[in-house]
Chains A and B, each alone.
Chain A
Amino acid sequence: MSSATVNGGEAATGMDIEAAAVQASTPAATNTVPFAQKPNFKPLKAHEISDGQTQFRKVPVPPHRYTPLKKAWMEIYTPIYEHMKIDIRMNLKARRVELKTRQDTPDVSNLQKCADFVHAFMLGFDVIDAVALLRLDELYAESFEIKDVKTLRGEHLSRAIGRLSGKGGKTKFAIENATKTRIVIADTKIHILGSFSNIKVARDSLCSLILGSPAGKVYSKLRAVTARMAERF
């Protein structure tokens, strides 16, 4: 905390510079209007933001992701602890992953990124795909349900789900490859991971599939989108 005053109050380490600045400015101040020099501050550490207090994030683990978490724990732990410098632990009793900042956590947002990363894994995404969240800033994960788009019941719902994924998941993969996103279809819930515009395109195609358009139509639209996107480069 810098408490530099023009009057030149208590002695502090940063004061020397400011004192010098004041001394320099005082002879000039007599001639012109006294301006307040823009203070130069060093960036805050994560620790200092919270006034030296640590921060926590807690991510619940759904039961169907318990075993995959166990299998992929090291792949999750390593990038968080090594690269993000966030403490991570699994609370087995509460069945949740807990994240905590350290003192040497470089950035404030690391904690949130790690929390998102873990959350994405809990949604169903692969670790490889979820790691992208840690690396890139502008990736998001969007979720919606089928019933948000259209109320389907019974067989219609099943058929819709089948339409979405396609035979052996080819439709889903086609959408993923075309739009550079990752899609997770979990029963009636659909999660999309990717950049904002890509998420929109993927969402549109998925919605059209839910609403009943055949895969071929969706493909043609995807082709157009891809061509457009390719033309940009």
Chain B
Amino acid sequence: MASTDDGGGAKPVGFDSLRRLKSTEPPLFLSPSPDLSQAARLASQYLFSSLKPFAPKSPFSQLLTEGFDAEQIWQQIDLQSQPLLLSLRRHVRHFEKNPEEIQKQFDLDRDRFGDSRKEETEDGDGDDKLVSREGNKSDGLESEGESFDEDEEDEVEEEEEEEEEEEEDGPDDGEMDNEEKGNADGVEDKFLKIKELEEYLVDDEEKEYGLKKEKKKRKRGEITDKDEDEDEEGDKEDEEDDEEEDNELGLMGLDDDDEEEDGSKMGTARYEDFFGAKRTGQGKKSQVFGGSDDLDMDDGNNNQKNNLSTHEKELEKLRSEIETMENANLEPKTWRMQGEVTAAKRPKNSALEVDLDFEHNVRPAPVITEEVTVSLEELIQKRILEGRFDDVQKPPTLPSRPPREKIELDENKSKKGLAALYEDEYVQKTGFISTALSFSDEQKKEASMLFKKLCLKLDALSHFHFTPKPVIEDMSIQANVPALAMEEIAPLAVSDAAMLAPEELFAGKGDIKEETELTKAERKRRRANKKRKFKAEATKRVTRKVQQNSVMNSAGGNDES
């Protein structure tokens, strides 16, 4: 009520503002001016209030602009206009099919224009009415909208989208109608129509993504009209935010990329492009849409993967890798990674396939080749010829202690008397005269003497240890041997101190001459002397014999006589 009154009072204001906006040059919209924004707000208010009677269900009786964001304002407008546009389209379609009704409408319009809006019980009549009313308004809207750059494009895009959607929605609606006719009893009433709700939601989302595309396009290409346009867009967006916040957050990034790459595909954008897979926040809506969405989603998935950017692809790859690795970590490890694995714990013959490496503590057996055999045989033959068998020889046992003196018992009659024995014993005890008592000492002495002689000879040969020849103090026959032997093999000097004196060697008197030195006369003399001696001895012997014989004869004679 109040709104209508205000609408009536504001009418000229609204018109004025609209006109003003229309008349302003487009470049002026670039710079933000409060006048223009105020004008825009007023114009929007006017439009809103004028459209209100035809809008099927709008919660706002009046467009609230004061203290509201551009986005919020736009949201309000959108709330109103969306279902309105839908119904208008429906009417247009209807009229397309049934052209004769247009005439009827025009005839009826004059009658019913002034009437207040009736509550509609039937969809068809209501729609027709709406179409008829809204057709004017939509035309008006459209004509007015064309003045706005952004609105034109927006409308064009939206129309395109909505046309496509409506083509789809046609069968969808049909299906939905079939499905939900049954449910209609409890849920639906004159206020809440589920079909309309669904359609509205779909359109809303489309518009939202159409808006996003538009926004991206702006950001990419166009510099002009940025601020103003953003304000305008912000208004529209605000209306959407209340319902579509989740969707925006969930799908913004992907859709932005999507829109940037596929500019050409803008026109052919489909529901599945945006709502391809069942993502978060879409749970309710996807369930609501049911089977139809499943088909769309499969297609949507493929399309989405093709449409990903490089960065997206890399991220996708990484994620998949991470996922596989995490899964692998969660699973139990392969038998190769486990510690001690017995045969029971691993599959059969699995150890054969694995390249195992372990230490062999045993030297591998030598490979017997012909060469090895030949070499061995050669060695054996050589050894046999040499006679060098490496026989094991017993090591000489070292005596732990020196061998005890073996006491030999003398079994002969002792030469010494008992007194002498005790005398010797006493003497030894007192230590008066040191003498070797035991019988074995003599043999020892002899042995030691022999050994010393041998050692001397050996030392002389080797020159290492010089020991002078021992001076043996015996009362023995003095041999004509030098007492000292020098160090060298051939003694340079030999002392003849111990030699026999010439007198000892030969005792004779006179001038001694050898046989060779003798003269002839002397030789004759010597021979003569020798003869004389011999003769003298011979005669002596003869006489002695004669004497003996004579004695014996005489003795014998005496006996006889």
Contacts and interface: CB of A to CB of B under 8 A. Distances in A.
A132 B418 contact: yes
A178 B412 CA distance: 11
Nearest to A132: B419
Nearest to A232: B429
Contacts of A193: 418
Contacts of B429: 233
Interface string A162-204: 0000100111011011101110000000000111000000000
Contacts, number: 62
Given A222-B409, A223-B409, A233-B429, A177 B414 contact: yes
Given A178-B409, A226-B407, A128 B418 contact: yes
A170 B411 contact: yes
B409 A219 contact: yes
Contacts of A173: 410-414
Contacts of B494: none
Contact of B417 (A131, A194, A222, A230): A131
A182 B407 CA distance: 20
Contact of A180 (B405, B412, B422): B422
Nearest to A136: B422
Contact of A132 (B405, B407, B411, B422): B422
A194 B413 CA distance: 16
Contact of B409 (A132, A174, A181): A174
B421 interface: yes
Contacts of B423: 135
A223 B404 CA distance: 12
Given A173-B413, A230-B438, A223 B419 contact: no
A166 B412 CA distance: 12
A230 B421 CA distance: 14
A177 B417 contact: no
A222 B411 CA distance: 12
Interface residues of B, number: 19
A48 interface: no
Contacts of A128: 417-420
A142 interface: no
Nearest to A131: B419
Interface string A117-147: 0000000001011011001100100000000
A22 B419 CA distance: 50
Given A219-B409, A223-B407, A233-B429, A176 B414 contact: yes
A227 interface: yes
Contact of B413 (A169, A171, A180, A195): A169
A72 to B, nearest CB: 13
A180 B425 contact: yes
A120 to B, nearest CB: 10
B428 interface: yes
Nearest to B414: A177
A227 B407 contact: yes
A136 B411 contact: no
A179 B412 CA distance: 14
A153 to B, nearest CB: 29
Contacts of B421: 180
B411 A182 contact: no
Interface in B177-207: none
Contacts of B410: 173-174, 177
A178 B422 CA distance: 13
A126 B420 CA distance: 13
Contacts of A136: 419, 422
A194 B407 contact: no
Contacts of A132: 417-419, 422
Contacts of A174: 409-411
B418 A182 contact: yes
A128 B420 CA distance: 9
Contacts of B412: 170, 173
A126 B411 contact: no
A217 to B, nearest CB: 13
B431 to A, nearest CB: 10
A166 B421 CA distance: 23
Contacts of B411: 166, 170-171, 173-174, 177
Contacts of B428: 233
Contacts of A169: 413
B435 to A, nearest CB: 12
A169 B414 CA distance: 12
Contacts of B418: 128-129, 132, 139, 180-182, 193-194
Interface in B108-163: none
B407 A126 contact: no
Contacts of B417: 126, 128-129, 131-132
Interface of A: 126, 128-129, 131-132, 135-136, 139, 166, 169-171, 173-174, 176-178, 180-182, 193-195, 219, 222-223, 226-227, 230, 233
24 contacts: A128-B417, A128-B418, A129-B418, A131-B419, A135-B419, A135-B423, A136-B419, A136-B422, A169-B413, A170-B411, A171-B411, A173-B410, A173-B411, A173-B412, A173-B414, A178-B409, A180-B418, A193-B418, A194-B418, A222-B409, A223-B407, A226-B407, A226-B409, A227-B407
User: 6 shortest A-B CB distances, which residue pairs?
Assistant: A128-B417, A132-B419, A170-B411, A129-B418, A132-B418, A174-B409
